[in-house]
């Protein structure tokens, strides 16, 4: 609790010796202490303050979203800022990743697997076996591609920054899995264009 100091500190009278450990002034009454810490429980203009906070948060979100589209790192969310993350994004965006092509194809296969029993039930068994082989084969190829991407990212990051910060390679692999068009922050380099 914060107490106000009295303007004129009272000194003990000369005839009374000061006790060791005393504060050198009389204790104020309970009424005085309660009056000193009394303040309003709610802000007078709550609605206006809440409205200002919402407007400010909406403006910050809009600026952050715009920065993700344009590549302006000053206004991006913290998890996307920094030269090391920029390098990872450029390295991932400059190569053709298997996962960015595989996942749309896998989605189409899953939709076909849902619709096929309704259209041609006799072909479903033969097609389902083929689709399972293709899907598991695609997943295996994605894992192998991610392994090569991991080595490439570690090599470049070590050359540029020395020690590779924790989570940076995972950031690049998660970006490689996403479809290029839907990646945020948006890709700033073209396929095949060397980063830096």
The domain tally of the chain equals 2
187 is a domain residue: yes
Using one digit for the tens of pLDDT, what is the confidence trace for 95-114? Answer: 999 999 998 898 888 888 88
Range of the domain at 154: 82-196
- Pair 66, 110 in one domain: no
To the question of pTM greater than 0.75 for the whole model, the response is no
- Pair 62, 120 in one domain: no
- Pair 120, 182 in one domain: yes
Using the predicted structure, report yes or no on whether residue 90 has a pLDDT greater than 90: yes
Using the predicted structure, report yes or no on whether residue 3 has a pLDDT greater than 80: no
Contact in structure between 142 and 102 (CB atoms under 8 Å)? yes
Confidence of residue 119 (pLDDT cuts 50, 70, 90): confident
What's the CA gap between 189 and 44, in Å, rounded?
A: 52
Largest distance between two CA atoms of the chain:
112
What's the CA gap between 88 and 8, in Å, rounded?
A: 65
Which of 80, 109, 144 is the endpoint of a domain?
Answer: 80
Structure tokens at 154: 């570690």
Angle between helices 83-94 and 168-177 (to 10 degrees): 30
CA 1 and chain centroid, separation: 37
């Amino acid at each position: 609790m914060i107490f106000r100091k009295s303007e004129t500190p009272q000194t003990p009278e000369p005839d009374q010796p000061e006790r060791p450990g005393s504060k050198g002034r009389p204790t104020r009454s309970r009424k005085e202490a309660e009056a000193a810490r009394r303040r309003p429980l709610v802000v007078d203009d709550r609605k206006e303050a809440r409205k200002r906070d919402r407007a400010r948060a909406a403006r910050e979100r809009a600026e952050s979203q715009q920065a993700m589209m344009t590549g302006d790192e000053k206004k991006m969310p913290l998890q996307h800022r920094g030269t090391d993350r920029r390098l990872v994004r450029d390295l991932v965006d400059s190569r053709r990743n298997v996962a960015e092509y595989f996942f749309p194809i896998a989605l189409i296969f899953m939709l076909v697997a849902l619709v096929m029993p309704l259209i041609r039930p006799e072909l479903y068994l033969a097609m389902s076996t083929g689709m399972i082989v293709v899907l598991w084969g695609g997943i295996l190829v994605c894992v192998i591609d991610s392994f090569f991407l991991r080595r490439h990212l570690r090599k470049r990051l070590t050359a540029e920054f020395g020690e590779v910060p924790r989570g940076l390679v995972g950031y690049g692999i998660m970006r490689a899995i996403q479809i290029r068009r839907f990646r945020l922050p948006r890709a700033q380099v073209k396929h095949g264009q060397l980063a830096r």
